[in-house]
Amino acid sequence: LAKTTQPISMDSYEGQEVNITCSHNNIATNDYITWYQQFPSQGPRFIIQGYKTKVTNEVASLFIPADRKSSTLSLPRVSLSDTAVYYCLVGSYNQGGKLIFGQGTELSVKP
Amino acid sequence: EAQVTQNPRYLITVTGKKLTVTCSQNMNHEYMSWYRQDPGLGLRQIYYSMNVEVTDKGDVPEGYKVSRKEKRNFPLILESPSPNQTSLYFCASSDRLAGGAYEQYFGPGTRLTVT
């Protein structure tokens, strides 16, 4: 099972771009990289998912280098409402159903 | 509306009194999972189910039981709750996406206090 490592916390200001990097050195060939956002006392919410290179949706971008041993979640022009904990998760059905969340990154956006 | 529901949302109970937390999803997902979340420890998987009648242990299964008799339901059972099971519990479900990826949908959480 791939273990993930993320910074415990990050600070930013409104309007800035935020990049959160996740390290997953033992990622398996079939594994996908998924990022979730969690607000206090709520369930995590899916943000974005990718296998390689770059993925972009309406809320974020995900950059995955060729060796796939890390990934970077990019949040453009953050606002106060982006203050949350962000989790990186690595896994796939082909590797079984056991999934291990990392400690998450607590992002604090200031005015 | 696609959703995962959990009941109850809040529960205070006493040590040793058996309880069940229900989880139901309306998306016809094959995969379901239970997590607990404690301050400083993140989300830890308790049990998961790849399909009906197929369940397996996650990282922290001690003191918990699950069953998957129907595709939509995945109850979490605490036969003899203890204070160290006081936690915030989340149920999640996921379809098998192209390539084998997971995209989990989480329930709103159940805050359990065992005294």
One digit per residue, the tens of pLDDT, for chain A of length 111 reads 778 999 999 999 999 999 999 999 999 898 999 999 999 889 999 999 999 999 999 999 999 999 999 999 999 999 999 999 999 999 887 778 888 888 899 999 999
CB A107 within 8 A of CB A18: yes
Residue A56 near residue A38 (C-beta atoms within 8 A): no
The B-side interface with A (CB below 8 A) comprises: 4, 31, 33, 35, 42-45, 48-50, 56, 58-59, 88, 90, 92, 96, 99-109, 111
User: Chain A residues with CB inside 8 Å of B56's CB?
Assistant: 96-98
d(Cα B103, Cα B97) in Å, to the nearest integer?
8
Rounded Cα–Cα distance for residues A101 and B100 (Å): 18
Residue contact A104–B42, C-beta within 8 A = yes
Structure tokens at A60: 């974020």
Chain B positions touching A89 (Cβ under 8 A) are: 102
Q: What would the pLDDT profile of B52-111 be if each residue is shown by its tens digit?
A: 999 999 999 999 999 999 999 999 999 999 999 999 999 999 987 767 778 899 999 999
Could you give the residue ranges of the DSSP H alpha helices within A1-111?
Answer: none
Task: Determine, for residues B100 and A104 on separate chains, whether the beta-carbon distance falls below 8 Å.
Answer: no
CA distance B96 to A86: 23
Q: B109 and A42 in contact by Cβ < 8 A?
A: yes
- In angstroms, the CA A99 to CA A97 distance is 6
Sequence letter at residue B86: T
3-state secondary structure at position B51: strand
What amino acid is encoded at B113 in this protein?
A: T
